[in-house]
Amino acid sequence: MCGIVGYVGKDQAAPILLEGLTKLEYRGYDSAGIAVRDGKNAPVTVKEKGRIADLKDKIGPVESIVGTCGIGHTRWATHGAPSETNAHPHHSDDDAVIGVHNGIIENYEEIRDKLKRNGYRFYSQTDTECIIKLVDYYYKKYGEGPLRAISRAILRVRGSYALCLMFADYPGEIFCARNGSPMIIGKNGKDAFIASDVPAILNHTRKVYYIDNMEMARLKEGSIEFYNIDCEPLVKTLTEITWDAEAAERGGFEHFMMKEIHEQPKAVEDTIHSVTDDKDKIDLSSTGLTAEDIKAIDNILIIGCGSAYHVGMVAQYVFEDMTGIPVRVEVASEFRYRRSPIAPNTLAIIISQSGETADSLEALRKCKAAGVKTLAIVNVIGSSIAREADYVFYTLAGPEIAVATTKAYSTQLVANDLLAIEFARVRGNLTKKQAAALVKELKTLPDKIQRILDDKERIQWFASKFANANDIFFIGRGLDFATCMEGSLKMKETSYVHSEAYAAGELKHGTISLIEDGILVIGVCTQSEVIEKTISNMVEVKSRGGYLMGLTTAGNYNMEDIANFCVFIPKTDEHFTTSLAVIPLQLMGYYVSLARGVDVDKPRNLAKSVTVE
C-alpha cells in the first residue's frame, strides 16, 4: 500500500523522485506528490490527485523544481478520500517538518486529539498528518533534534509504518524510520536513495541497506547513518540486489498472484484491526452504522459478482447463524434486471473489491431507489460504490494487481464476520463476552493463514500431478460449498481447467454421471455438522473412479483413510473456516496454472475491474 521514494546527493532530486514513483505506481495510484529542497530554501511541494502522469503534468518541465534533496509518495488511500489535500507529503503548521508515510497509524485519532489540545490544526483526514505533527510537537517541546523527536513519536504510535521526513532546520538531510512497512536505503557513491520497494531505485543502484523495525536512518550527501530507537548508532552492511527490475516489483515473487496470496495474513490483520480494539471490542463507527441502524434491520440482501458473490454466500451462513436475520444473496447482474420485491427495513450489502463493477453499482442504485439502506464493503477508497452507498466498510487489502482476487476476497470475508458478530451483539444474540471471544479467534486467522502458506510446497507437488486434468470437481456442504465455489473459480480462471463446484448432496441428482476414472474431486470438509455426509458423497465418488483430495480441519485424521491426498488446515471457530480452507485452493489454482504455462496474473479474456455489463 502506497510507495515512498527519497533522494539526497549531487543530482537534481525531482527527476529521480518522479522516475521512482512511476516504478511504484502499482503500489497505489490515487494521488501522488513530491517535496524538494534547494539548500536552505523552504521545500517546493507539488501534489496531485490521480496518477503519476497527472502529477507530472501539473509540474510541467521537471527542471522547474530545483534541489538535490527530496521525498515523494504515491498513495493508496486508507484514511481520507483520494484528493490533493490528502495526498503526501504532509507538513506541520509552520513547515518545520514535512514528510511522507506508508502504512497505518492505528491510534491516529487519539494522537490528533492530543495535538489539538496542544493547539495544532488539521487540514487533511490522513493519519499521516497526525504522525508528522506528532514529530513536530516533540521536536519543539524537547528541542533534542530530529532523531529524538522521531523516536519519541515512534514510541507513541501504534501500527505499521515507514516514515520519511525533512526538517526545515536541517537542509540537505532526510530522516527515516520504519516499523512493519518495508523501507530500504540505497547507496551509490555519495548519493543516497530511500524506497519502500526495490524497483524505485534499481536504475540508480543495486547496493542497499535494510532498515529493521524500530530503527531510524539519517541521510545526507556522502553519509548514511543508522540508529536504534534509543538513538544509539548502528552498523549495517550493504547488500547487493540481484533481482531483475520486473521481478523486484513483485517483491521477489514470480507473480503478483503469489505475492498477493502471501500478503493475506497482513491484509486480514489490518482489516480486523481497523474496527477492533485491544480488548477485542468492535467499533463500526467508521462505517457510519449505528446501533439503531443495526436494530432496525429485518432482512439482509447481499449482492456481488464473481468472488465477491462467493463472499456473500459465506456471509449468508454466518449472518443467519449468528444473528437470525434472514439473508438473501444475489448475483448483481441477475438481481438488477429482476422485478423482485425488496422488503422495507432491508440492509443491502454490496461487496466489491474495485468499487467500480458496473452490475454491482447498478444493483446498489436499484436498492437505493427501493428506499432501503445500503452498506458497501469495498477496497478502493472513493470508488463509485463507496461514494454512493449509505455506509462503507473499507477492506484494507491494498492494491490488488493480479486479475484473480485473493487478498481482497480474504479481507471481505473477515469484514463480513466482523459485521455479523457486531450485529449479533447489538441485537442481543451474543453477549459482549461471546462477541469478544469470536473477535479474539478472528485475530488468530493471520497466523493460521501463514502456517498454511508455510506448507505450500506440498500443494505444489500435488497440483503438478493434475496439470493435464480436463475437469476438476469441488464438493462440500454449507460453508464448505461456498468455499468450493471460490476454489473452483480460482482453478478455472487461472489455469483454464474446467471445474465445477457442487453442493455435495446435489451430485447424485445428475452430475455424478460425469465422474470417471482419475477425475480429481476435491472434498472440503470443515463443518462438523455435515462432515459425515460429505464424506459419504466422497466415498460414492471414489467408488466410481474419482481421485480424492480431502481438505479438512486438523484432527479429522480419518480423512486419510478416504482421500488419496489430504490437506489439513488449523482449527478455528467453524464460522471462520473459509478464511483458511480457501488458501490451499488458491494455491492449487496458482500451481496448476503455473504447470500449464498460463499467464496467471493476466488470464485470457479477463479484466481486473469489470466496468461494463
Binding site for ligand F6R (CB under 6 A): 305-308, 352-354, 357, 360, 404-405, 489, 493, 609-610
Size of the chain in residues: 613
Q: In 168-291, which ranges are E strands?
A: 173-179, 184-188, 191-195, 207-210, 215-220, 223-227, 233-234, 239-240
Closer to ligand F6R by CB, 160 or 307: give it. 307
| Helix, strand, coil share (%) of the chain residues, nearest 5 | 40, 25, 35
Three-state secondary structure call for residue 179: strand
Closer to ligand F6R by CB, 38 or 493: give it. 493
CB of 356 to ligand F6R, least distance (A): 7
Closer to ligand F6R by CB, 352 or 495: give it. 352
CA distance 393 to 376: 6
121 secondary structure, DSSP code: -
Report the DSSP pairing between strands 215-220 and 173-179.
antiparallel
Three-state secondary structure call for residue 482: helix
The continuous run of DSSP H or E covering 100 comes out as strand 97-105
CB of 312 to ligand F6R, least distance (A): 11
Which residues face 303 on adjacent strands? 330, 350
List 2, 176, 484, 525, catalytic entry: 2
Closer to ligand F6R by CB, 30 or 493: give it. 493
Peptide bond into 89 cis (omega under 30): yes
The grid cell for 530 is: 455435515
Q: DSSP assignment of 345-408, as one string?
A: TEEEEEEESSS--HHHHHHHHHHHHTT-EEEEEESSTT-HHHHHSSEEEE-------SSS-SHH
Tracing cell 517483491 back to the chain, one arrives at 251
276 secondary structure, DSSP code: B
CA distance 501 to 487: 8
CB of 268 to ligand F6R, least distance (A): 16
Closer to ligand F6R by CB, 478 or 487: give it. 487
Task: State which amino acid sits at residue 395.
Answer: T
CA distance 292 to 428: 13
Closer to ligand F6R by CB, 165 or 489: give it. 489
Report the DSSP pairing between strands 239-240 and 215-220.
unpaired
Exposure string over 391-430, b if 16+ CB within 10 A, otherwise e: bbbbbbbbbbbbbbbbbbbbbbbbbbbbbbbbbbbbbebb
Does residue 164 carry a catalytic annotation? no
Residue 249, φ and ψ in degrees, nearest 5: -65, -25
Which residues face 346 on adjacent strands? 299
Q: Where are the alpha helices (DSSP H) in 207-299?
A: 245-249, 256-262, 264-274, 291-295
Give Cα separations from 163 to 7, 99, 213, 261 (angstroms). Answer: 14, 7, 12, 26
Q: Which residue is nearest to ligand F6R (CB)?
A: 306
CB of 134 to ligand F6R, least distance (A): 35
Listed in sequence order, the residues at least 6 apart from 102 whose beta carbon sits closer than 8 Å to its beta carbon are: 1, 2, 3, 4, 73, 161, 162, 181, 182, 183, 196
Q: In 432-586, which ranges are E strands?
A: 471-476, 498-503, 520-525, 547-553, 565-569
Closer to ligand F6R by CB, 386 or 524: give it. 386
List 56, 114, 220, 608, catalytic entry: 608
Closer to ligand F6R by CB, 357 or 552: give it. 357
CA distance 507 to 500: 11
CB of 606 to ligand F6R, least distance (A): 8
Closer to ligand F6R by CB, 271 or 357: give it. 357
CB of 378 to ligand F6R, least distance (A): 8
CA distance 385 to 392: 9
Residue 157, φ and ψ in degrees, nearest 5: -95, 155
Residue 604 CB neighbours (<10 A): 9
**C-alpha distance across the termini of the chain, in Å:** 29
Closer to ligand F6R by CB, 498 or 508: give it. 498
Does residue 542 carry a catalytic annotation? no
Closer to ligand F6R by CB, 12 or 354: give it. 354
Closer to ligand F6R by CB, 276 or 357: give it. 357
Residues recognised as catalytic: 2, 608
